[in-house]
Structure 1
């Protein structure tokens, strides 16, 4: 191993840990599994440090080879991680039973703390943000594991075809073929929506602020005006989901009728998108964490809201279980 790396393995690999987690997340769709696989990658690298040859590959390329193959092994025989909209038709019944399905390995959101806010190049920051959008990660789950790996390594991380071939122990021709198939499948599953706006966009901030005010006021009429005509509401681990302003609004009206008003929303961010932690008052008036809502905002309004109610997701975002007075 190169002396500069061998002298302090932790210091040499530390700059790559965050991006390895994000890479594993794109592959696996789970923050917790991504953390585990990134740690496993560094452990494997440490054990193989004497075999590393800096003349054959950079340290970053070598680590990505280990991480990608660890993910491929993890994905063998595994079902994809979906969102509810990927499992069946939308419901039109606002009173349908809300029954969680914990047997499904649901897609998880990624806290924005994993993304590089220190990017000097705005284009580089936008590229990383766009590459983890929730809808895109969900669509990538539809790809066979090796096609997913090729797509991420080539189109997101911009490794050359030759580098990817070396990482996956295959030929350049096979990499190019897999990339072509992956791009075609992804375009069919999730056509690129150029109207999606960045969280820092002023119009996005204003839309989210209006959504928060309407939600906290239990004002369904105003809330639905902020939605696109075909807005989608889904709620893992509940397989139930709704499409369109009318059904979205009817379901939210049911939520307020059942849980009452007095909700509070706390802004956060997930997958490069605006997100809100929703707190609902209990019988004693204590505001308790209820859900994490991840919004997709376009030029036409809020196009999607994926509402997560999972203790593991809450832990990943370090959300307080109770909202203290004054927050």
Structure 2
């Protein structure tokens, strides 16, 4: 099919923005699937309005305005997407069996490959920071109203002026500033400042040790790598756990792996954070996709682990559904 001049101009100008706009939709919705649907709708709206685009703002600003308002329309009447810690219940007792809760629309992970192509010429590499898609930050955003999310993201992530945000959202500048103040205060309570970043070498050693501990099923070794007040959560289970002792009890009691070699881990990158695809040994001797684990790491060790179950989460990160048998070496 041959594109018309208008279609060609639209694709040339707008298509390079797709990855960063998808990240924007993800921050707003908390779901990659919803973000993809919303962005498709936003592109359709933009295409229909393209002949009226007069160039008084950049194409990027124009697209963000359309996309943000499409997100706001999508979010009308929808419930927020929490992690288990966001439900308001206290930490659970690991002696009790976790129970799935599918009535909740849970926050979803964002594979790095969806946002960053790895190409030096990728515009998203310069615009989407890893901090702006961290799980803790996106989870905190879900506790805001849709309008508060939009204002905070446009002001603090995209660095728009209050006047630009007011124009995009049909608000007053005073209304933007008031909304931003409330949003910042709420997010600061839910997503406090990082306790300290690790340099690349210490981070690599910590993650390598984490893999070795899990693959040898050394529960003591696993929790020794964690901060004293580590948090463990695993949607769709609403229970969450705090502290090394409770995480050790949870793994030792309810994890179906029962010994060395039962688990294998492959590295991944999700929400700009280290992650692992975890594979469980089935009775037929094949390691199959079990869960995707996303880690917060800092100077105190592994501070938080969020786990999602199911093969789809691993394949979305480019990981295989099952692993070939380990070949013994002489």
TM, length-normalised to structure 1: 0.91
Pair 1:273-2:239 in alignment: no
Give, in whole Å, the separation in 1 of the partners of 2:270 and 2:240. 20
CA distance in 1, matches of 2:228, 2:252: 17
Where does residue 208 of structure 1 map in the other structure?
207
Mapped partners of 2:166, 2:225: distance in 1: 46
Distance across 1 between alignment mates of 2:120 and 2:130 = 11
1:19 equivalent to 2:20? Answer yes
1:95 positional shift: 3.4
* Partner in structure 2 of residue 259 of structure 1: 257
Matching residue of 1:150: 151
Q: Distance in 2 between matches of 1:110 and 1:228?
A: 24
Are 1:5 and 1:12, in contact at CA under 8 Å, matched by a contact in 2?
no
**Does the C-alpha gap of structure 1 residues 80 and 193 become closer, same or farther in structure 2, counting only changes over 3 Å?**
same
The equivalent residue for 2:240 is 241
Per-residue Cα deviation, 1:45-71 (whole angstroms, up to 9, x for no partner):
1111111110x2110011101110111
- Alpha-carbon separation, structure 2, partners of 1:163 and 1:10: 25
In the TM superposition, residue 316 of structure 1 has moved relative to its aligned partner by: 2.8
Deviations 1:273-320 (A, max 9, x none): 100000001011110100000000011100000010145533432432
Contact kept in structure 2, 1:115 and 1:128, CA below 8 Å: no
TM-aligned CA deviation for residue 167 of structure 1 = 1.0
1:34 equivalent in alignment to 2:35 = yes
> Which secondary structure state, in structure 2, belongs to the residue aligned with residue 48 of structure 1?
helix
Contact 1:6 1:49 (8 Å CA) reproduced: no
Give the conservation status (yes or no) of the 8 Å contact 1:27–1:71. Answer: yes
Match of 1:53 in 2: 54
The structure-2 alpha-carbon separation of the partners of 1:140 and 1:33, relative to structure 1 and needing over 3 Å to count, comes to: same
Structure 1, gaps ≥5 residues long: none
> How far does residue 4 in structure 1 lie from its aligned partner after superposition?
8.8
Distance in structure 2 (CA, Å) of the matches to 1:194 and 1:119? 31
TM-score (norm 2): 0.90
